[in-house]
Amino acid sequence: MSQTLAEKLLGSHALVDGRPTAAEAGRSVRAGAILEVSVDRVLANDVTAPVAIREFAKLGVDSVFDREAVVLVADHFTPNKDIASAEQCATVRRFAAEQGLPHFYDVGRNGIEHVLLPELGLVSPGSVVVGADSHACTYGALGAFATGVGSTDVAVAMATGAAWMRVPESLRVEFEGRPARWVGGKDLVLFLIGRIGVDGARYQAIEFAGPAIDALPMSARFTMANMAIEAGAKVGLFAVDDVTAAYLAATGSCAKPAALRPDPNATYVERWTIDASALEPQIALPHSPGNVLPVRAAGHIPIDQVVIGSCTNGRLDDLRTAAEILRGRRVDAHVRCIVLPGSQRVMLEATREGLVEVFLEAGAAIGPPTCGPCLGGHMGVLASGERAVSTTNRNFRGRMGDPRSEVYLAGPAVAAASAVAGCIVSPEEVAA
């Protein structure tokens, strides 16, 4: 029987009375089924883990189901911005020590979780991952069924190694053609969200496919899977291919790519075909990721701040793109440009390649790996009336600070060009 990629992934992890089902039963799984599934990784951060830890204590179990499977990352309010955030991290640190968890990542050894886990080889194709963070769907770029859940669900998953899920229907989106220069994964996914809306894929799996997708590097795929949740999706999925295999080899992962692909005649709720070659760089205007226009249609809106980083666009390829724009240029005197590499490794490689020097010479500020400004936490909070262009994933009212501020979402090329111009511009206007 034909299956989508989501049906195959969850079907392969289905449990009955806590035990794996026969392979034949997994192949019969269809959208709408409610399954108990085994999980391969359980993730939480310094914001969500303390709640999960408190709930875990109420379950009456002594230890997590598998010490290797639980990953805790301090990344949202780190380095700690205040006493409250320090206490949050201390709670996580103590739990990791008590449980003997090898995968606890703290300041100096950490990264933004959704950048860090893939580069450490902690997510494998064909796996199921639950994380107490909505952007856990990032790992769908590796052909894993990865999704965000609540902290209570994470507590149960840490104790049992299982979670309950309804198998989502799937939306197939095929991108054809070759994207133009400066058009990246962020532009493709913003365009899609602008077309279908922030609830256009509600509790669905988005399968990304097509010739344009096949040519995308992993960094762009991570960006697109990351923002599937901004269309309401449960997960964003990419089938495993040679690009995936090369990435796994480069990260030192010992896992063999699981050759899971959707069947040609699988059932989808809808199919979209988008000509990527016709797209320009995109931007989402306040206060919704679905309020999308081509950058040139947005007009030269003055800005106060630019943020380049986050779990969406904090990878080395993103910094290379930004540096290409900023090299030999200066950030506008009225703009604060903040660059936050997605992990220690990204920071190290950016330093070795001379990218950090480019940013500093351009007048940008470099910070440690942190989610900080994305959620209005620290290291880039906006004041009343201020505007920011950000490579993050959400621009809801008050997301990055004062409710009277504005956030415009874009890729690293648009962000860097706007930092130079002092207003929102297309990269071609600066890098011509």
- CB 228, CB 206: distance < 8 Å: yes
Residues 316, 254, single domain; the answer is: no
Domain that holds residue 229: 5-274
Residues 110, 235, single domain; the answer is: yes
Residues 264, 361, single domain; the answer is: no
Q: Which residues are paired to 165 by β-bridges?
A: 35
Put residue 266 in one of left, alpha, beta given phi > 0 → left and psi -120 to 50 → alpha: beta
The pLDDT assigned to 76 comes to 96
Residues 214, 341, single domain; the answer is: no
Residues 243, 311, single domain; the answer is: no
Nearest to 192 by CA among 109, 128, 282, 108: 282
Residues 235, 360, single domain; the answer is: no
Q: What is the DSSP string of 323-385?
A: HHHHTT----TT-EEEEE-SBHHHHHHHHHTTHHHHHHHHT-EE--S--GGGGT-SSSPBPTT
Phi, psi for 373 (deg, rounded to 5): -70, -25
Nearest to 295 by CA among 171, 428, 395, 196: 428
Q: What is the CB-side half-sphere exposure of residue 251 using CA atoms within 13 A?
A: 25
Nearest to 104 by CA among 161, 56, 158, 43: 43
Which of 219, 244, 274 terminates a domain? The answer is 274
Starting at the edge strand found earlier in the chain, the sheet holding 406-409 runs 292-294, 282-284, 406-409, 387-390, 305-309, 336-340, 365-366
Tell me the H-state helices in 12-126: 23-26, 49-58, 83-99, 113-119
Structure tokens at 167: 């198998």
Residues 350, 256, single domain; the answer is: no
C-alpha 264: how far from chain center: 28
- CB 317, CB 342: distance < 8 Å: no
Residues 294, 266, single domain; the answer is: no
Q: What is the CB-side half-sphere exposure of residue 319 using CA atoms within 13 A?
A: 32
Residue 86: give its domain's CATH number: 3.30.499.10
Q: Which residues are paired to 19 by β-bridges?
A: 16
Rg (CA), the chain: 21
pLDDT by residue, tens only, the chain of 432 residues: 799 999 999 999 999 877 887 677 788 899 999 999 999 999 999 999 999 999 999 999 999 999 999 999 999 999 999 999 999 999 999 999 999 999 999 999 999 999 999 999 999 999 999 999 999 999 999 999 999 999 999 999 999 999 999 999 999 999 999 999 999 999 999 999 999 999 999 999 999 999 999 999 999 999 999 999 999 999 999 999 999 999 999 988 766 677 688 999 999 999 999 999 999 999 999 999 999 999 999 999 999 999 999 999 999 999 999 999 999 999 999 999 999 999 999 999 999 999 999 999 999 999 999 999 999 999 999 999 999 999 999 999 999 999 999 999 999 999 999 999 999 999 999 987
Residues 242, 302, single domain; the answer is: no
How big is the CA angle at 221 (ends 220 and 227), to the nearest 5 degrees?
Answer: 95
The pLDDT assigned to 254 comes to 64
Longest dimension (CA), the chain: 64
How big is the CA angle at 380 (ends 299 and 87), to the nearest 5 degrees?
Answer: 150
Residues 423, 309, single domain; the answer is: yes
Which of 242, 274, 306 terminates a domain? The answer is 274
Residues 340, 219, single domain; the answer is: no
Which of 274, 305, 333 terminates a domain? The answer is 274
Residues 129, 23, single domain; the answer is: yes
33, with CB counted inside 10 A (0-12, 13-18, 19+), is middle
The pLDDT assigned to 19 comes to 83
- CB 44, CB 52: distance < 8 Å: yes
Nearest to 107 by CA among 67, 76, 135: 76
Nearest to 383 by CA among 400, 366, 365: 400
Q: How many structural domains are present in the chain?
A: 2
